[in-house]
Amino acid sequence: MTNKPQLRERYLKVRSMLSQKYLEECNKKITRKVIFFIEHYKLKRIGIFLSSKNEPETREIIKWCFNNQIEVYVPRCLTGILEMNFRLIKNFDTDIEYNPEYKIYDGSANTPILKNSNDLDALFMPLVTYDNKLARIGNGKSFYDIWIEKMNYQGYKIGLSQSTQLTNTPIITEEHDFNMNFVITEKEVNVAMVEEAEEEFDYDVTLWRFNDETIDN
């Protein structure tokens, strides 16, 4: 039996207790690390969420992408069914709208839809908690699990989180769950343990550079 509901409740409470000052400092550091990640891997097209309360703030990341010719696709959650798609946005004023059912901001229905999931170089996702193997617990609607399976997404899966959300309790996953490739926090970039690293990655050097404190200066 999965332990996800119990861990979700515990770490939603943890996140709700974080001070505004701490959240603001986390946002600055996570933003810098994500931008460094995008530059390092030469990403040209990303999927990324529009932050809700206490989630790492993504709008400065998105603004940087607008200014650096990076295509940005954000989720649009479909009302009445647990499915979402991704919409291309170029402007905060015209391309996003509030979704009252889920109390989040979505890509507008008037913006272009992402047809091929693997056109994305990377997908940046919110999470409530994660473990040492980078198993993820979200808000419980399974939007990302459903989309990744349905669209057969094969690219980078990257969680954005405060370091406080790491659990020492192994997450008991279900059949539809997936592990992330990276989790970026204000303290470090966590890399999933793999038996054989792909040739294009030097995990030791990459992890050291991403976690170099000079990135935060």
**Which residues are part of a known binding site?**
4-8, 50, 55, 136-144
Q: Which residues are annotated as a binding site for substrate?
A: 50, 55
Report angle CA 136, 49, 141 to the nearest 5 degrees. Answer: 50
Q: Which residues are annotated as a binding site for ATP?
A: 4-8, 136-144
Question: Which tokens sit at 170?
Answer: 């192994």
Could you tell me which of 31, 4, 30 has the C-alpha nearest to residue 170?
4
3-state secondary structure of 143: helix
Beta strands in 53-210, from DSSP E residues, in sequence order = 71-77, 84-89, 96-99, 104-107, 122-126, 129-130, 136-137, 156-160, 182-184, 189-191
Q: Estimate the crossing angle of helix 20-40 against helix 59-67, to 10 degrees.
A: 30
Could you tell me which of 184, 156, 162 has the C-alpha nearest to residue 32?
184
Residue 152's CB is within 10 A of a number of other CB atoms, namely 9
